């Protein structure tokens, strides 16, 4: 049996180094209105105490590459969350890229075969990929998948809106992202 094709190896350090930091990314936004919404969310919703405690325990750096563009509602909602996490810990380093910047990277992170952002890729201190997150928390992703499964994506999106209204401060996203930060920053299997 023939071996499946192998994707080219990505140089995550180079990708990270060429990325843009949070403030520069916001300053270069296509939409001043969307950038303003993200700044408001960043200022309005601080990192929950349990996530701060998690971040204080990091023993080594974690690098996060965010594939994001300001036109997307999920980016407006979740980019401030990962930016707040990075601001809260000197161990968490964050850079933004766009789909156009690196289509080779984005193609690896399709959601159910479709293009969806944001995607946050978690790398350890040696730039080894340890996990990814996006474009939304796991429960809303399931609502969309169920909507597709039953042929009613609109119903799935309605459930996502309800979920977001009940989780305005993005506590679920904070929790899931903190888990991935801990994973990429791990120093043992335990």
**Beta carbons within 8 Å of 158's beta carbon, 6+ residues apart:** none
Per the CB < 8 A criterion, the answer to whether 126 and 103 are in contact is no
Rounded to an integer, what distance in angstroms lies between the CA atom of residue 104 and that of residue 29? 22
> What mean pLDDT comes out for the span 34-62?
95
How many residues would you count in the chain? 190
Average pLDDT of the residues in 95-115: 87
Residue 154 confidence (pLDDT) = 97
H/E run at residue 105: helix 103-106
List, for residues 109-151, the tens digit of each pLDDT value.
878 777 889 999 999 999 999 999 999 999 999 999 999 999 9
Q: What is the DSSP letter of 136?
A: S
What pLDDT does residue 186 have? Answer: 94
pLDDT at 29 (0 to 100): 95
Q: Tell me the HSE value of 155 on the side-chain side, using a 13 A CA sphere.
A: 8
State residue 32's pLDDT score: 95
pLDDT value for 109: 85
* Residue 145 zone, left/alpha/beta (φ > 0; ψ -120 to 50; rest): alpha
Whole-angstrom distance, CA of residue 98 vs CA of residue 88: 24
| pLDDT at residue 5 is higher than 90 | no
The share of the chain scoring above pLDDT 70, in percent, equals 97
Q: If you average pLDDT over residues 97-104, what whole number do you get?
A: 91
Query: DSSP 3-state assignment of 123?
Result: strand
- pTM above threshold 0.85: yes
* Backbone phi, psi, residue 34, to 5°: -65, -40
CATH class of 12-135+170-184: alpha beta
pLDDT at 4: 65
- 25-37: pLDDT as tens digits: 999 999 999 999 9
Average pLDDT over residues 66-84: 97
Query: How do the domains of the chain map onto residue ranges?
Result: 12-135+170-184
What's the pLDDT at 1? 67
pLDDT at position 27: 96
C-alpha span between 80 and 96 (Å, rounded): 12
């Amino acid at each position: 049996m023939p071996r499946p094709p192998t994707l080219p190896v990505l140089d995550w350090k180079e990708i990270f180094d060429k990325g843009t930091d949070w403030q520069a990314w916001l300053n270069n936004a296509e939409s001043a209105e969307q950038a303003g919404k993200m700044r408001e969310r960043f200022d309005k919703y601080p990192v929950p105490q349990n996530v701060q405690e998690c971040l204080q325990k990091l023993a080594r750096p974690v690098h996060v590459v965010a594939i994001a563009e300001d036109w997307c509602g999920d980016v407006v909602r979740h980019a401030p969350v990962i930016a707040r996490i990075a601001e809260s810990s000197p161990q968490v380093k964050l850079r933004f890229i766009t789909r156009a910047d690196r289509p080779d990277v984005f193609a690896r992170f399709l959601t159910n075969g479709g293009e969806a952002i944001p995607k946050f890729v978690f790398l350890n201190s040696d730039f080894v990929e340890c996990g990814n997150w996006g474009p939304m928390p796991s429960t809303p992703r399931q609502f969309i998948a169920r909507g597709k499964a039953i042929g009613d994506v609109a119903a799935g999106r309605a459930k996502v809106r309800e979920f977001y209204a009940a989780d305005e401060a993005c506590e679920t996203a904070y929790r899931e992202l903190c888990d991935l930060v801990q994973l990429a920053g791990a120093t043992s299997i335990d």
